[in-house]
Amino acid sequence: MTHSADRKTTAEITTFDTSKIASVIITLNEVLADTYRLVLKSQIYHWNVTGPLFVTLHDLTEQQYTDMFTAVDVLAERIRALGKPVMISAEILAAGPNGQDADASLTADGMINDLLSDHEALALRMRALVAAAEVADDPVTADLATARAGFHEKAAWMLRATSA
Ligand SMILES: [Fe+2]
């Protein structure tokens, strides 16, 4: 056996069902794009929020986009570990089906509600990814998606509590 023959992907060294892992990879690419969009939206609100909630939302959005920016890299690298290309582009980011575009003219409460609904949607997408990864016998992606669902559920709670 040559050295290069030992260079296998995660998909090759495990027992993934090809069709099941394909749907995991599609969902990973989708949540990657959704997460990236929410990084940008959170930054737009971080910069443009005004009013009495300025400091609260300015700081909260920074914590959240910083975490999500790190998560984008982790999600992308999981796709690569599974042996597939990362399907992200400016076009894909612009064509997001989930959530509305950032509106810098919103009030602080409007920004909170918009971010809240995006975090709730992403939490559900991450839970769907956990289920798909479990079906595909991929506990590593299931763990990653579980952690991301936890982040978005916590983010939603903090936003909800801020506007209460
Ligand atoms: Fe800043």
Query: Given this model, what pLDDT does residue 146 score?
Result: 98
Tokens 């209460």 -> residue = 164
Residue 69 Cα to ligand 1 middle (Å): 14
Residue 114 Cα to ligand 1 middle (Å): 19
Does this model's pTM top 0.75? My answer is: yes
- Give the whole-angstrom CA distance, residue 122 versus residue 117: 9
- Give the whole-angstrom CA distance, residue 20 versus residue 136: 5
- Give the whole-angstrom CA distance, residue 26 versus residue 88: 11
Statement: residue 69 has pLDDT above 60? yes
Per-residue pLDDT, averaged over 30-46, amounts to 96
Dihedral (C-alpha) 52, 57, 58, 63: value to the nearest 10 degrees? 160
Residue 43 Cα to ligand 1 middle (Å): 8
Per-residue pLDDT, averaged over 146-159, amounts to 98
Residue 122 Cα to ligand 1 middle (Å): 23
Give the CATH class of 23-86+107-163.
Answer: mainly alpha
Tokens 């763990």 -> residue = 143
Confidence of residue 2 (pLDDT cuts 50, 70, 90): very low
Residue 57 Cα to ligand 1 middle (Å): 11
Using one digit for the tens of pLDDT, what is the confidence trace for 90-106? 888 887 655 578 999 99
Residue 62 Cα to ligand 1 middle (Å): 7
DSSP per position, 37-88: HHHHHHHHHHHH--STTHHHHHHHHHHHHHHHHHHHHHHHHHHHHTT-----
Residue 44 Cα to ligand 1 middle (Å): 10
Query: Given this model, what pLDDT does residue 1 score?
Result: 47
All structural domains of the chain with their residue ranges: 23-86+107-163
- Give the whole-angstrom CA distance, residue 14 versus residue 55: 48
